[in-house]
Structure 1
Amino acid sequence: MSNLHGFATHFPAGYPSFPPRGGPFPGAASSSSGDSGPANAGQPQFDIFEWHPAYQSCQRYFLDHAQHDNGVQAVAALINICLPFQWTSTPIVNSAGPMPNASGPGAYNHPWPRQAPVNNVRAQPPPTWVSLVPYIRRLVITGMDKDGIMHGFFGEDWRKGVGPVHECERRNYLFTAKSTEWAEVKHHYDMSPHESVPFLKPLQDAHLAEIEGAEQTWSQWLAMQDWMVGPRAPNLDGEAKGEA
């Protein structure tokens, strides 16, 4: 693990931290809502080893609990995306129960075990893996990525687990909209003929720090199109870069 410590420190560049966006569901704020605040907005930090167990927790909560909730099913139907148990080919009903002695929402704040307990005669099968990104993307582009809905889909610690992915997908949506016209944006986000995007909404509850962060990163992308990278990279950070 020690040989990856530097990787964990420098990986964060793609995962910015922004002040939490409030919204109409203040009661659903997670216990980790204070992890990304104004003080960290200019200095994004992301530790992959701290994040990964929380993401696994959100996966397990989504598979074992959220997808069977009537509210989540209603939202999924509205935005036209199948939940794993609804897949016509190899439906996934749960996460294969890697923690048989735990139950309820409180059971989803621990990482999946790497191996079966030593007292087991037969090893447990590995937990089922389902990407949460398609669901986050669909919530973002339909304006449904409110705190309460994110909490309902991904559990109490959704900010730790899927919060970084959520922020990146919001930024990607801005980039996609800036890159092409509406029809192409919709086509980009359509998943299949049966799970096409029913409607698009402009990015909801955007804050100035989020917009400025996206704007700066977009400028870096434009610079790369002109091969202005490495020693030829422009000083896009202004005085802040000079002070560093």
Structure 2
Amino acid sequence: MAFSSSSSEDNFGMSRSFRDARFTGINSPSEASSRGKGPAGPQFDIIAWFPKYQSCQRYFIDHAQHEPLVQAFASFINILLPFQRQPHPIFSSTGSRSGKSRLDKDATRGSSSEASAAAAASAVSLIPFLRRLVVTGMDVPQVLHGFFGDDWQAGVGPQREQERRNYLFAAKSGGWASVKRDYDMLPLETVPFMRPLYEPTDGELQAAERSWSEWLALEDWMVGPRAPPD
């Protein structure tokens, strides 16, 4: 039996909506739990967030890492940029060493090369750079904009929020040496210095306290039906 084009499109649209619905309307891991504290807070839409994250990723790989100021900054906080990593440096999301796309005489080979470069670029995680900026107290808006572009708030803002909380947790659960070990990237990309969290807000600290209390409850298996009353 043949399906009409419109019927196929409708079925695909319904399938896609059903698939996407599983990932929308959920809370970001960085948001404080609102269990027992009134209505839930703003919900996190992974489908809407991911293109913004990819925009930050492309900006960082194609533009920011080639800027002298970003290179100097990365050297100061002792972290290698993607194009500096051996034996597989990543210069751009298109495979061009200049950070700009180039035409290839062999269309087939060029297409394969671009696909390979795009796959390698998509594997570049921004988390190590966020962690290093947070631990050195350098996660200020102007630096985040310089590294990740105009979409940094929507693209890496949730991860930045979570990494700031992780830094608070690390400081609370261990001493200076323990925290430094957690943030060192051996063998060469060790943390040159650590600073207290940059301009924490009262709301941020309260959210961290609630999450820390939930973690302590988990350590004692006080979760689910055993969860303590708020």
Range class of TM-score, shorter chain: 0.7 to 0.9
Structure 2 counterparts to residues 208-227 of structure 1, below 5 A: 208-227=202-221
Residue 77, structure 1, aligned to residue 75, structure 2: yes
Distance 2:145 2:51 in 1: 17
Distance 1:171 1:210 in 2: 8
The answer to whether 1:229 aligns with 2:223 is yes
Question: Which residue pairs with 1:178 in the alignment?
Answer: 172
Q: Choose which of 62, 69, 82 in structure 2 pairs with 1:64.
A: 62
Tell me which amino acid in the other structure corresponds to 1:132: L
Given the superposition, is the C-alpha separation of residues 156 and 137 from structure 1 closer, same or farther in structure 2, using an over 3 Å criterion? same
TM-score, scaled to structure 1: 0.74
Deviation at 1:7, TM superposition (A): 2.9
**Fraction of identical pairs, as percent:** 53
**1:201 aligned residue:** 195
Whether 1:16 and 2:31 are equivalent positions in the alignment is yes
Task: Give the total of aligned pairs.
Answer: 192
TM-score normalised to the size of structure 2? 0.78
Alignment check: 8 A CA contact 2:20 2:47 kept: no
Q: Give the aligned residue type for 2:178.
A: E
Deviation at 1:43, TM superposition (A): 1.0
Within 5 A, what are the aligned runs for 1:79-98? 79-96=77-94
Kindly state the Cα deviation for residue 3 of structure 1 after the two structures are TM-superposed: 2.8
Offset, 1:45:
2.0
Deviations 1:9-61 (A, max 9, x none): 22x241328xxxxxxxxxxxxxxxxxxxxxxxx71421000000000000000
What is the rounded CA distance, in whole Å, between the counterparts of 1:235 and 1:148 in structure 2?
42
The answer on whether the counterparts of 2:53 and 2:154 sit within 8 Å (CA) in structure 1 is yes
Contact 1:15 1:46 in 2 (8 A): no
Q: Which residue of 1 aligns with 2:22?
A: 6
Give the gaps of 5 or more residues in structure 2. 1-15, 33-39, 102-106
- CA RMSD in angstroms comes to 2.1
Q: Which residue matches 2:10? A: none
Using CA pairs under 8 Å that are at least 6 residues apart, name the structure with larger relative contact order, 1 or 2.
1
Off by >6 Å, runs of 4+ in structure 1: none
Distance 2:161 2:28 in 1: 12
Q: Which has the larger radius of gyration?
A: 2
Q: Deviations over 1:175-223 (max 9, x none)?
A: 0111111101000110112100000001011000000000000000000
C-alpha distance in 2 between matches for 1:169 and 1:71: 24
